[in-house]
Amino acid sequence: MKDTEPKADVWQGTLALMALKTLETLGPLHGYGIARRIEQTSGDLLSVNYGTLYPALLKLEQEGYIASEWGVSDNNRKAKFYKLTRAGRKQLEKQAREWERTTGIIARFFAPEGRS
């Protein structure tokens, strides 16, 4: 990435999906770890706003898609660790299907004529 290219914010409606996928892939993580993984996976093209991430994690927890417990991070600090629940796995599968469908529809608008 060029130094002059600004990082993009995470697209609306995708943060929860990326957080669920991150937890499925890596297992339990604290919020900072989730944010860093999303940024790394994007090739550092996305920037995760912590003021958006933590409310999204709280909402996922309230919906039963993730669970949390307090633990100690790698740098020996108290941190809340999040993990995917069974309901979260089902929700991830559902959201992934919806995302594939949506991106397929949008791709049709950018496909050369007659190739959709």
Centre a 10 Å sphere on the Cβ of residue 87 and count the other Cβ atoms it contains. Answer: 13
Rounded to 5 degrees, φ, ψ at 30 are -90, 170
pLDDT tens by residue, 15-74: 999 999 999 999 999 999 999 999 999 999 999 988 999 999 999 999 999 999 999 988
Q: How far apart are the first and last CA of the chain?
A: 31
Longest dimension (CA), the chain: 58
3-state secondary structure of 95: helix
Cα–Cα dist 63/5, whole Å: 36
Can you spell out the DSSP letters for 27-76?
-SEEHHHHHHHHHHHTTS-EE--HHHHHHHHHHHHHTTSEEEEEEE-TTS
Instruction: Categorize the per-residue pLDDT at 112 as very low, low, confident or very high, splitting at 50, 70 and 90.
Output: confident
CB 48 within 8 A of CB 39: yes
At residue 11, the pLDDT reads: 73
Q: What is the distance of C-alpha 40 from the center of its chain?
A: 11
Domains (range + CATH), the chain: 8-110 (1.10.10.10)
